[in-house]
Amino acid sequence: MVGATVPAAPVNVSVTQLRAHSAMVTWNVPQGDTVIGYAISQQRQDGLMQRSIREVNTSSHWCVLWDLDEDTHYSVQVQSVGPHGDSPPSRAVHFRTLERSDHYPAGVLDQHEPAMEGLGMTPQLQTGELLIITTVLLLWAAVIALFCRQYDIIKDNDSSSAKEKTKRPLVRATPSYYNASAGSSPVYHNGAVRSSRLHRASSSISIIRV
């Protein structure tokens, strides 16, 4: 297209958040330029490795470089990607990655997660913290298991008591029958019916006629 221009080269290019195997590149875009992406050229100073990174449809002004060698010198250049072409490369920025002992405490290995480190996210938990978390989770699991066991025991006891009450026989009073002709009558004593024989006194009447 006639009169179309490419954006200007990025400015204020810098390398931050250095690690043994990663680093973050940041830059600014001059005002007035239409930028739809970026292109990064990364190279080891000894010439053994060169990498190009290109991303479009983004407005990001940073990029994480990953899979770097520790204690190694690198150079990086950034280009802005416009609708009509790429800008000239920025000035080259030189940096050196750290040794693992410079950043990571003893006994903690590099987890090779530059994306998380570049975004400022929390790094991997150390061994001691993982041990504490695991212990707390196990204690909670033991408490829950003990509670469930006690609940089952109480529930079983309640069921057994209900069954015993259901099976208990009912005591009924059996009426006693007496023979009226034999002169027996029922006698109630303390709620129980007992039969007792009544002995009638015999009497004789003599009539004397004059």
How far is Cα 22 from Cα 42, in angstroms, rounded to an integer? 12
pLDDT digits (tens, 9 = 90+) for 51-109: 999 999 999 999 999 999 999 999 999 999 999 999 999 999 999 999 987 655 444 34
Q: What is the pLDDT of residue 10?
A: 97
| pLDDT at residue 117 tops 50 | no
**Cα–Cα separations (whole angstroms), residue 2 to 5, 15, 84, 85:** 9, 37, 11, 13
**Cα–Cα separations (whole angstroms), residue 57 to 48, 139, 193, 208:** 31, 50, 105, 150
Lowest-confidence pick of 69-78, 115-124, 198-207: 115-124
Q: What's the fold here for domain 11-124? A: Immunoglobulin-like (2.60.40)
Q: What is the pLDDT of residue 180?
A: 44
Q: Which of 35-49, 121-135, 182-196 has the highest mean pLDDT?
A: 35-49
Q: What is the pLDDT of residue 167?
A: 61
Q: Give the domain ranges of the chain.
A: 11-124, 125-159
pLDDT digits (tens, 9 = 90+) for 6-47: 999 999 999 999 999 999 999 999 998 899 999 999 999 998
With a threshold of 0.85, does the pTM exceed it?
no
Structure tokens, 54 = 């290109």
Q: Which of 62-66, 104-108, 154-158, 178-182 has the highest mean pLDDT?
A: 62-66
Tell me the one-letter amino acid at 53.
I
Q: What is the pLDDT of residue 110?
A: 44
| pLDDT at residue 120 tops 80 | no
Q: What is the pLDDT of residue 193?
A: 47
| pLDDT at residue 141 tops 80 | yes
The mean pLDDT value of the chain amounts to 75
How far is Cα 88 from Cα 15, in angstroms, rounded to an integer? 19
Lowest-confidence pick of 121-125, 146-150, 158-162, 202-206: 121-125
